[in-house]
Amino acid sequence: MLSTQSRPVIEATLPIIAERISSITPNFYNRMFAARPDLLDGYFSRSNQKNGKQQQALAGSIAVFASHLLNNPDTLPETMLARIAHKHASLGIVEEQYPIVYEHLFAAIAENLGDALTPEIADAWSEVYWLMAHALIKIEKGLYAKQVNDHYYSLWTLTGREETAPGSVTFTFEPADDTPVTPAEPGQFISLRMPMADGVRQVRQYTLSGNVADTSRRTVTVKLDPNGEFTPILHTQLKVGDTIEISNPYGDLVIDHSGEPLVIATAGIGCTPSAAALATLAESNSQRSITVLHADQEADTWALRAQMVESVEKLPNATLTTWFERGELPTDVKSTAGLMNLNNAEFDPNSHVYLCGPLPFMHAVRGQALAAGIPAERIHYEVFGPDVWLAV
């Protein structure tokens, strides 16, 4: 918790820091990468730096953390910290890197606030930073300790690739060496790391999309971003037989094992965690009540249609309903034209609801699930890329 001397300072300065943090964070990243360009090699996404998502996510997390310390002095925002820690662990972030972030972040804060940054204010916000940093370090060390190997990355060989929809390819990898393989949970992701055209390694996280009970392989389904840096190389240059660096599996949004009813609502390529969960549940002959909801632009762009339909058919208590914005509606599944709408849906209040897709979709469906009587603590979500939900 905050010290007694820092608490009133944070209370007084949080509004201005929260207002300015979104302009402070770009300066911070510019400073850090100027001093440590090596951090762009294998750690930070250049694309997320250009589009501002990384800065937005950092700014939101700092403001939320400080607010939580004020409003809930005896606890920490565990959900937010866990989500950040899992992402950090998938990148191989270590304790020794936190002082680097501190140095350049507080230089950016000092430049922005100028003479208004008194020693008391600097000390109070330093305390906030290190409370957050030490909490993350503790979680990350725990995550590393749970792995069955001590590698941040190991080599995997591409053994299969299949275009599952226009612009979407499913990649299957198998171990390239004898590094022990950490089992994954449905809903978790892995980091793929490979060099770009200039030789600088970039990393992207992709949710596992196949049956995760099979530890002999990792399967991800990736949608091409024609304007991106990573996916064009992945789609056009990575060939069967090539090797790539892959992290251990991480991610706190995993399908619970309670046996209670499930509602899985996805849109677009956000269907990947749903596909993995359904394949894994089908493999274990699950008897759970499962409501699968998916929205897409049209039936042909649904990346994992065949796999999801097959899994649902194997699950005795699963149903599948779809929505498509345009094009002919499929006849093999229940489908409706337009956007997903759950306003008239009836759900068991004991259901766990999992959401994955674009932020506007998740905001809308979350509101509809709440209106349908699902408690907020039973609604879970996954954001692809930096988690900017808190900053929206």
CATH architecture of 5-146: Orthogonal Bundle (1.10)
pTM for the full predicted model: 0.91
d(CA 68, CA 75): 8
Predicted confidence band of residue 57 (pLDDT cuts 50, 70, 90): confident
Predicted confidence band of residue 390 (pLDDT cuts 50, 70, 90): very low
Cβ–Cβ < 8 Å for 347, 263: yes
**Of 385, 388, 383, 355, which is closest to residue 369 (Cα–Cα)?**
355
* Partners of residue 165 on adjacent β-strands: 168
Q: Which residues contact 263 (CB under 8 A, 6 or more apart)?
A: 291, 293, 347, 351, 352, 353, 354, 369, 374
Mean pLDDT of 91-108: 95
144 a catalytic residue: no
d(CA 187, CA 209): 8
State percent of the chain over pLDDT 90.
Answer: 77
**Which is it for the CA torsion 180, 91, 357, 238, positive or negative?**
negative
Q: Which fold has domain 262-382?
A: Rossmann fold (3.40.50)
Cβ–Cβ < 8 Å for 85, 143: yes
- Active-site residue, from 29, 127, 129, 140: 140
CATH number, span 153-250: 2.40.30.10
Q: Where are the chain's structural domains?
A: 5-146, 153-250, 262-382
Predicted confidence band of residue 351 (pLDDT cuts 50, 70, 90): very high
Measured in whole angstroms, the distance separating CA 254 from the mean position of its chain's CA atoms is: 11
Predicted confidence band of residue 276 (pLDDT cuts 50, 70, 90): very high
* Partners of residue 201 on adjacent β-strands: 195
* Residue 387 pLDDT exceeds 70: no
- Active-site residue, from 29, 98, 250, 381: 98
162 a catalytic residue: no
